[in-house]
Amino acid sequence: MRKTLKIALVVLIIVGAALFWWRHYFVFGEGVKAGDLNYLVRKGYIFKTWEGRLIQTGFKTPTPGAIQSNEFEFSITNDSLATVLERASGKFVELRYKEYIRPLPWRGMSRYIVIEILDIRNPQEKSQTLIPYQAI
């Protein structure tokens, strides 16, 4: 009986550790977001983390003729990336990120963690390239 209980306990601990890793450390997706950096702030009661918001403008809305503004909230674990983005508030930025299933308190409050800055430009320098529609 004791041997069965010990084996069951070890299996339960292994399954629990695998589930914890999958929910908090498994990279669910990676991608790039671009938009105007709204803010970047370091905050937290116990774990001080970098939190930011990117405003993405778009045209696809439920209401015809309206312009939609999408907000992308993210966290940054790398202090050197955060210091570069601190100086880019209000500018157009392109960020590469990783998406996790659940956040961790010491990693940030968001599921999205920025891992690289691809580009920083003034808002006037955004490319306005339109692809013309060609009927076949």
Mean pLDDT, range 104-114, rounded to an integer? 90
Residue 32 domain flag: yes
Per-residue pLDDT for 112 more than 90?
A: yes
Domain count, the chain: 1
Residue 92 domain flag: yes
pLDDT score of 134: 45
- Average model confidence (pLDDT) for the chain? 83
Domain that holds residue 91: 28-124
Nearest to 36 by CA among 57, 50, 19: 57
Residue 55 domain flag: yes
pTM of full prediction above 0.85: no
pLDDT score of 65: 63
Residue 86 domain flag: yes
pLDDT score of 89: 85
pLDDT score of 135: 44
At residue 22 the predicted structure's pLDDT band, cuts being 50, 70 and 90, is confident
Residue 51 domain flag: yes
Residue 23 domain flag: no
CA atoms within 13 A on the CB side of 115: 12
Residue 10 domain flag: no
CA dihedral for 25, 31, 53, 125, sign (positive or negative): positive
Here the CATH number for the domain that contains residue 76 is 2.40.50.140
pLDDT score of 132: 45
Residue 109 domain flag: yes
